[in-house]
Structure 1
Amino acid sequence: MAGAAIVAAGAFTTFGGLLLVPLHEQRGWSRASIGAAFAVSMVLYGVTAPFAAALMDRLGVRRVVVGALLLAGGGAAGSVVAGSPAQWTAAWGLGVGLGTGAASTALAASVAERAGAGRRGLVAGLLTAAGVAGQFVFLPVLSRVVEEYGWQVAAWGLAGTAVLVAVCALVALREVRAPAGVREAGAGAAPGAAGAPGVVGRALRVLAASTRRPAFWLLAGVFAVCGASTNGLLWNHFTPAAHDHGIPATSASALLAVVGVCNVAGTVAAGRLTDRVDARRVLAACLGLRALTLVALPLLWSPSVGVPLVAFAVLFGLLDVARVPPTLALCRVHFGSDGVVVFGWVNAAHQLGAGTMAHLGGLTRDLTGSYDPVWVGAGALCAGAAVLAVVVRGDREER
C-alpha cells in the first residue's frame, strides 16, 4: 500500500511534461509562465518532505499519506478550472506540490528507516523504483488520454485516482512504529493537533544543526543537480523537445516509460550496492554516467524513434533515481537518527534545482528556439556533482 501511495503521488510529477504544449497552444500562455508553476510545485515538493517525515514520526504514516493524496487530488481538480497562469500556479503549484511532497520521498525514506540495518538501502531502492516505474507506466496512458480527450480529462482522472488511493490507504495501510531513536528525537508532544508545533520545531532544529556541517551542503548541492537534470529537465521538457523534432507525444511518452521501467533495475541495484559498498562511489558513478547521456542527447534526436533514442532511455533509466539509496545512506551516516529529516531537507535542494531548471528550460526554449543548450549544460552540472559526491567523507558506519 505504501508503494501504491508513492506511485499515485509520483504520477503527478510526470504529468507536467504533457501539459506544457497543450496549455501553450490552447491558452496562449508562455512556456516560461507554465514552467514557473512547475517550479513552484517542485520546490514545495521538496520543502514539504522534511516536515512530512517529522510528522510521520509523530502522527503515523497513514494519516499523513491520506491527507497528502487528497491535497494533490484537489490541486489537480483545481488546475482544470484555472483561468490564468496565476490561478494555474496556485492550483498545480501549491496543491500538487504540497501533496506529492508529503506522499512520495518522505514516505519512502520513512518506511526504509523502519526496515532495520542491512536492509535499508534495498527497501529504499524498491520503494523508490516502484514510485518511478509507476510514474512512467501512467505516462503513456495519460498521454493517450490527453491526445484523444484533452488534458482536462486526464487531470480529472488523476484527481480521482488520488482520492481512490487515499481511501485504500485509510483502510489498508498498516502503521509501523518508528525506531526508538527517531521517536525519542521527535518526542515531546502527544499525537494530534498539539503535535504540529513540535513537528515544525524538530524539522527546523535539524536543519539548523545540519547546516553547520559541510556534509550537508555537499549532499544538498549534489542533489540539487540531480533534481535539475531529472525532475526539472527530463520530466518536464523531454516531451516538448521531442515535439520540436517531429516525434509525437505518444512516442515520447513511450520513451519515458522505458526510462521508468529501467528505473526499477537501476534503483534496486543501487540499493543493494549501497548496503555493501561505499555510498559515495555509487552516487558518483550514477552522476558521471548521467552526464555522458545528457551531453550526447542533442546528437541523438531524429523525427522517428530509433535505436539511439531507445539506448538513451535505457541508460538514463538505469541511472535516473539510483541516486536516492546512496544519498539516504550518506544522510544516515552523517546525521544518525535525524538522517531521514535531513534527507528531506536535502530533497528540498533537489526540488529547488528541479524547479529552477523547469523554469530555465522553458525560458531557454523561448529565447533560443532550442533545448540543446539545456541538455549540454545539465550534463556539465552532473559531471561537477560527481566530483562533489566523492568529496563527501564516507565513514564506514552501519547503513
Structure 2
Amino acid sequence: MTIAKNRPFGQRYAFVVVGVIFFCLLIAAGLRSSMSVMMVPLEDAFGWRRDVISLAAAVGIFIYGLAGPFAAALMERIGLRRTLLAALLIMSVSTALSLLMTEPWQLIATWGVMSGVGSGAVATVLGATIVNRWFKTNRGLMMGLMSASAATGLLVFLPLLAMLAESGGWKPVVIAVSVATAALLPLVWLLVPERPSSIGLTRYGAEGPEPEATAVPGNFLTVTLTTLRDAAKTRVFWYLFATFFICGFTTNGLVGTHLIAFCGDMGIAEVQAAGLLAVMGVFDLIGTTLSGWLTDRFDPRKLLGVYYAVRGLSLIYLPYSGFSITALTIFAVFYGLDWIATVPPTLRLSNEAFGDRSGPLVFGWIVAGHQVGAATAAFFGGFMREYQGNYELAFQIAGMTAVAAAALSMLIAPTAPDRRQGLQPA
C-alpha cells in the first residue's frame, strides 16, 4: 500500500507522526513494565521463585536493549514502517502466546526473548530516528516528549494493570497488553509515512528542499556492527555507554521491576504501589519534556550530572524513608522528575559526536548499554531479595552507582560543531 501524498497540516504533519509514535512507545513501555504487576500473581499461580520470574524480566530487558541498534539499521535498510509494523505484531503475538504457558522457560521465551525482540524496535532508538527524520529544529524538546511516553505508559497502564492483576491474576494483564499492541497496527499503517519526502514535505523547521535520503547500502547486520566498531574507538561513546548502563540499572531494571514488590514487603497494597509509580510517571512526563527544552539551551553534560545526582540521592533515601505516604510522595516527586530525563542530553551528545546519520544508530548501542544495566538490576534485585530477604541493599547500591554516573558525566568532552556530520574519533 502506498501512503497518499495528500496530507493536511504541511510541515506540522510531523506532529501527527510524533503522536502515533508516542502511543507506540507508550504501549511498549506498558508491556515492559507489566512484569512488575505480574510478579506476585505468577508466584502465586505457579509457585515459581521470584528470582526465576526476575530472570525472565531480565532476559526481556536485555534483548530489548540489544535489538535496538539492529532495529535502527533495519529501519534504514528496509524502512521504518515495515520494521515498526513487524515489531508491533511480534509484541502482540508473543504476549498472547504466554496465556498457554505452564513452565518457567515459556515465560522466558514469550515475555523474555520474543517480546524483547519486538519491543526493542519500539524503544528510544525509534524516537531518535523519528526526531532526526522529521525535525530540523526543536529536536531536544521532541526527544523529551518521546522519551516521556515511557512515563506516560506507567501513568496510564500500571494502575489499570495492577487492578486487573489484583482482581483476576496475571492473565487479564496479558490480554490487555496484547490487544492494546494489536490496536496500533492500523494507526501505523495509515498515518506514518516512511519520511517527510514520501508525502512531499520537508522536515519541520527546514527552510527549503533537502537532499533525498537513500537507504544504507550493505547488510544491515554488517552496518550495525561496523558502526559499533568505529564508535567504540572514541572515548565519548564509552562515557555515554557507561552512564546509560547506570541509567538502566537505576530505573526500569530495579525500580520499574521491583518497586511494587518492595512496597508489598513493607505492607503496601499492589494497587497503591502502582499508584506510586503512576505519580512518578506524572512527574517524569513533566521532567523529561522540560529536560528536552533545557537540552536545546544548556550544556548537556551538566544536565546529566544534575540528573544522576538527584536520582542517586533519591534511591539512597528510599530504604530509610519509613514508607509513609509523605515519604513515598517525596521520593516519587524527586525520583520521577528525572526517571528518563537523561535521554535528551544523551541523544544530543551522540548526535554531536557521530552526526545526524550515524547518531541514532550509535545511540542505539548506547541504549543497549542502558538495557544491559537494566537487565543486570532486574536479576540483581530478585537475587538480593531471595538472598537477604529484603531489597534495602539493592536500592542503596543503585543509588551509589547513580552518584558515580553524575561524576562520570562531567568527563565527557564537548564536541566541536564541525564534527557533527560524521563518525569520527573523540
Deviation at 1:306, TM superposition (A): 1.0
Deviation at 1:28, TM superposition (A): 1.4
Q: Distance in 1 between matches of 2:211 and 2:400?
A: 40
Q: Unpaired segments of 5 or more residues in structure 2?
A: 1-19, 198-202, 204-209, 421-426
User: 217, 225, 244: which is aligned to 1:223?
Assistant: 244
Q: Distance in 2 between matches of 1:161 and 1:53?
A: 24
- Answer whether contact 1:115 1:123 (CA < 8 A) is retained: no
Q: Distance in 2 between matches of 1:98 and 1:112?
A: 22
Deviation at 1:279, TM superposition (A): 0.7
* 1:10-29 to 2 correspondences below 5 Å: 10-29=29-48
Residue 353 of structure 1 pairs with residue 373 of structure 2: yes
Matched residue of 2:330: which SS? helix
TM-score w.r.t. the length of structure 1 is 0.93
Residue 187 of structure 1 pairs with residue 216 of structure 2: yes
1:73 equivalent in structure 2? 92
Q: Distance in 2 between matches of 1:199 and 1:170?
A: 23
User: 46, 54, 61: which is aligned to 2:65?
Assistant: 46
Deviation at 1:212, TM superposition (A): 1.0
| AA partner of residue 321 (structure 1) | I
Residue 136 of structure 1 pairs with residue 155 of structure 2: yes
Aligned length: 388
TM-score w.r.t. the length of structure 2 is 0.88
Residue 123 of structure 1 pairs with residue 148 of structure 2: no
Deviation at 1:174, TM superposition (A): 2.7
* 1:165-314 to 2 correspondences below 5 Å: 165-177=184-196, 183=213, 187-188=216-217, 198-302=219-323, 306-314=325-333
- Answer whether contact 1:11 1:136 (CA < 8 A) is retained: no
2:5 equivalent in structure 1? none
Deviation at 1:116, TM superposition (A): 3.7
2:415 equivalent in structure 1? 395
List per-residue Cα deviations over 1:237-282 (Å, max 9, x = no partner). 0000000000000000001001111111111111111111111011
Deviation at 1:4, TM superposition (A): 1.1
- Answer whether contact 1:279 1:394 (CA < 8 A) is retained: no
- Answer whether contact 1:21 1:240 (CA < 8 A) is retained: yes
1:383 equivalent in structure 2? 403
Greater fraction of residues in helix? 1
2:131 equivalent in structure 1? 112
Matched residue of 2:251: which SS? helix
- Answer whether contact 1:14 1:136 (CA < 8 A) is retained: no
User: 19, 40, 60: which is aligned to 2:79?
Assistant: 60
List per-residue Cα deviations over 1:309-351 (Å, max 9, x = no partner). 0111111111101000000011111111311001100000100
Q: Unpaired segments of 5 or more residues in structure 1?
A: 189-196
1:192 equivalent in structure 2? none
Deviation at 1:151, TM superposition (A): 1.1
CA RMSD in angstroms, aligned pairs only: 1.8
List per-residue Cα deviations over 1:190-235 (Å, max 9, x = no partner). xxxxxxx622121111001011111111111100000011011010
- Answer whether contact 1:78 1:92 (CA < 8 A) is retained: no
- Answer whether contact 2:134 2:195 (CA < 8 A) is retained: no
Identity of aligned residues (%): 35
| AA partner of residue 389 (structure 1) | S
2:350 equivalent in structure 1? 331
